[in-house]
Amino acid sequence: METYNLTVKPWCSCLLIGLLAMNAFLSFFAIAEIQYHEFVVQTTPVKRLCRTHNTITVNGQFPGPSLEVRNGDSLVIRVVNRVQYNVTLHWHGIRQLRNPWADGPSYVTQCPIQPGGTYTYRFTIINQEGTLWWHAHSEWLRATVYGALNIRPKLGSPYPFSLPKREYTLLLGEWFDRNPMDVLKLALFTGAAPNVSDAYTINGQPGDLYRCSSQETVIFPIDSGETVLFRIVNSALNQELYFSIANHQMTVVGVDAAYTKPFTTRVIMIGPGQTTNVLITGDQPPARYYIAARAYQTAMNAAFDNTTTTAILEYKSAPCSSKNGQSSRPILPQLPAYNNTAPSTAFTAGLKSPAQVNVPTAIDENLFFTVGLGLNNCTRPNSNRCQGPNGTRFTASINNVSFVLPRTNSLMQAYYQGVPGIFTTDFPPVPPIRFDYTGNVSRGLWQPVPGTKLYKLKYGSRVQIVFQDTNIVTTEDHPIHLHGYQFYVIGSGFGNFNPSTDTARFNFIDPPQRNTIGTPPGGWVAIRFVADNPGIWLLHCHIDSHLRWGLAMSFLVENGVGESQSVIPPPADLPQC
């Protein structure tokens, strides 16, 4: 198999271990590999939109190095922090069984790697296949610090579709024509929404529709008649995106790290944190076709980046004139209107597991979480620190708790070492006040309470969560990401969740498995999972501005019985605060 975008691994030596009987998780005949990498977080000049910026990268690459692994492989990644910011890396979607120490969210599972420091992430990929990615999990550094984490089946194990000859990784990103950390800093000062980005990118390049960009537009070659696999990742900081390829159908075969029942579509909606694998066949006249993505914007009256990023699908047999000539600009695909929710709903409804899956039918924990924004009133509404709507500051919450990270320890370290005073475990399982969530919400309900509250789950408990979007400030699609787990998405709908009618429509047969799922704007989405991974796991909106405002909480999953159901001891080099 030929892989595009295979990046050079710095000092990657790979050693084969046959018949790994010592690792109970690996099947007896598996041949697994241990990959060693060094990721140096550094400042690198990157030129985009006519200007050069000192950009935070990994190993000087933007996007960062791709990790190409197989199910069962182990990764040892030594991270060296050579920038002035605190850094952590998160391996988005990797389950990290019993191993929260390698998960990465700053102040949740570890203290950050401070300037000049190092930390080695060690983890094994256990029963996961598909496309994941990695990114910084510390303030807004993930704007430029991210890369693919592609997991192929074990050697000799097939894909559930005919093996494509070629595969491409396509990372969608968001580019700011200034230091993203300064954009965040300004927003945190003023309390207003952060400035929007200046471009979307495909593998780091904005494409033909932006100034000073067309020379570097990414080109994906295809042969007439061949089928290629595209691994699409939304690494954008704050924006759901619509994605399409001119004149070509896409066959969706996977989302996050799970296969799906194949279905064809002209457009996909992909939220920050999500991945989608699609097959594309070169069945059109040999020419060049635009691949394009732009915003799917659900928040009302909010500024957003309305630009369009493009790459080019180029038939190798396309006439030279069409490759070089000014005359033959590639065809642009039709993308839905920014505010059109119908194509997103249709796409999401098409996602199913390939066969019947094992969804817990009985549940031990029935959780109902309201998710949304809020506004904090100011004592001096006219001050330059209260530039949010009508002299307020933006906030966000789950069940009216706006999540606050600790500063003097990580949640996981405090829990493991029994350090008191860092968090409480009284996160409310249901909203403290019932109201018409998606109706006209009384202004008196808009200000949540800050807190570092966790929700305790017994090992092995069967959990259902209904995420209910609210109309506080605005209804919106919030892409909710759960660390340490994959869950089944068993239902969704618009308006307020109604247990007596909506539960009857849940899909217990073939719901898709994901790690990130959006709430329909002004609607709800229901998930189920078994709490079989002990540790502290962050649940949050993957729109980074919302995360920073507090749209997050954490689960504390207790140890079960014996070592095999307990968190492993922390590594010796775990960063301290």
Ligand X SMILES: *[C@@H]1O[C@H](CO)[C@@H](O)[C@H](O)[C@H]1NC(C)=O
Residues that bind ligand X (CB under 6 A): 86, 111-112, 114, 178, 182-183, 186, 195, 306, 337, 339, 377, 389-390, 400, 432-433, 440, 442-445, 447-449, 473, 577
CB-nearer residue toward Cu ion: 518 or 535 = 518
Least distance from ligand X to the Cβ atom of residue 384, Å: 13
d(CA 422, CA 425): 10
Least distance from ligand X to the Cβ atom of residue 337, Å: 6
Contact 533, 65 (CB under 8 A): no
Per DSSP, the residues of 66-87 read PEEEETT-EEEEEEEE-SSS-B
CB-nearer residue toward Cu ion: 237 or 543 = 543
Least distance from ligand X to the Cβ atom of residue 90, Å: 17
CB-nearer residue toward ligand X: 278 or 412 = 412
d(CA 407, CA 423): 11
Tell which residue, 448, 208, 231, has the closest CA to residue 332: 208
Binding partner selected for residue 444 from ligand X, Cu ion, none, CB under the kind-specific 5 to 8 Å limit? ligand X
Binding partner selected for residue 489 from Cu ion, ligand X, none, CB under the kind-specific 5 to 8 Å limit? none
Give me 243's structure tokens: 């994605």
Least distance from ligand X to the Cβ atom of residue 283, Å: 30
Least distance from ligand X to the Cβ atom of residue 232, Å: 22
Least distance from ligand X to the Cβ atom of residue 336, Å: 10
Contact 452, 427 (CB under 8 A): no
Residue 212 backbone zone (phi > 0: left; psi -120 to 50: alpha; other: beta): left
Q: How many CA atoms lie within 13 A of 265 on its CB side?
A: 25
CB-nearer residue toward ligand X: 357 or 419 = 419
Least distance from Cu ion to the Cβ atom of residue 193, Å: 12
Q: Which residues of 256-286 are buried (b: 16+ CB within 10 A; e: fewer)?
A: bbbbbebeebbbbbbbbbbbbbbbbbbebee
d(CA 15, CA 445): 58
CB-nearer residue toward ligand X: 73 or 139 = 139
CB-nearer residue toward ligand X: 40 or 441 = 441
From the list 151-159, 289-297, 476-484, 563-571, the region that binds Cu ion by CB under 5 A is 476-484
CB-nearer residue toward ligand X: 86 or 486 = 86
Binding partner selected for residue 14 from Cu ion, ligand X, none, CB under the kind-specific 5 to 8 Å limit? none
Least distance from ligand X to the Cβ atom of residue 492, Å: 18
Least distance from Cu ion to the Cβ atom of residue 302, Å: 11
Binding partner selected for residue 432 from Cu ion, ligand X, none, CB under the kind-specific 5 to 8 Å limit? ligand X
CB-nearer residue toward ligand X: 255 or 398 = 398
From the list 93-101, 239-247, 434-442, 537-545, the region that binds Cu ion by CB under 5 A is 537-545
CB-nearer residue toward ligand X: 127 or 390 = 390
Residue 514 interacts with Cu ion (CB under 5 A): yes or no: no
| Radius of gyration from C-alpha coordinates of the chain | 23
Binding partner selected for residue 546 from Cu ion, ligand X, none, CB under the kind-specific 5 to 8 Å limit? Cu ion
d(CA 497, CA 494): 8
Applying CB under 5 A, which of residues 95, 154, 231, 478 lies at the interface with Cu ion?
478
Distance set, CA 267 to CA 233, 337, 359 (Å): 15, 12, 29
Binding partner selected for residue 298 from ligand X, Cu ion, none, CB under the kind-specific 5 to 8 Å limit? none
Binding partner selected for residue 327 from ligand X, Cu ion, none, CB under the kind-specific 5 to 8 Å limit? none
Least distance from ligand X to the Cβ atom of residue 556, Å: 21
Least distance from Cu ion to the Cβ atom of residue 396, Å: 7
3-state helix, strand, coil in the chain (%, to 5): 10, 40, 50
Binding partner selected for residue 541 from ligand X, Cu ion, none, CB under the kind-specific 5 to 8 Å limit? Cu ion
CB-nearer residue toward ligand X: 59 or 410 = 410
Please list the alpha-helical segments (H only) found in 384-521: 411-417, 499-502
Q: Return all residues near 22 (Cβ < 8 A) that are at least 6 apart.
A: none
Q: Is the peptide bond before 63 cis (omega within 30 degrees of 0)?
A: yes
Applying CB under 5 A, which of residues 196, 199, 295, 541 lies at the interface with Cu ion?
541
d(CA 370, CA 91): 27
Per DSSP, the residues of 176-243 read -SS-HHHHHHHHHHH-SPPPPPSEEEETTB--TTSTT-GGG--EEEE-TT-EEEEEEEE--SS-EEEE
Applying CB under 5 A, which of residues 37, 393, 540, 546 lies at the interface with Cu ion?
546
CB-nearer residue toward ligand X: 282 or 333 = 333
Contact 240, 477 (CB under 8 A): yes
Binding partner selected for residue 334 from ligand X, Cu ion, none, CB under the kind-specific 5 to 8 Å limit? none
Residues near Cu ion (CB under 5 A), total: 4
Give me 184's structure tokens: 């965040």
Q: CA triplet 147, 152, 157: central angle to 5 degrees? A: 175
Binding site for Cu ion (CB under 5 A): 478, 541, 543, 546
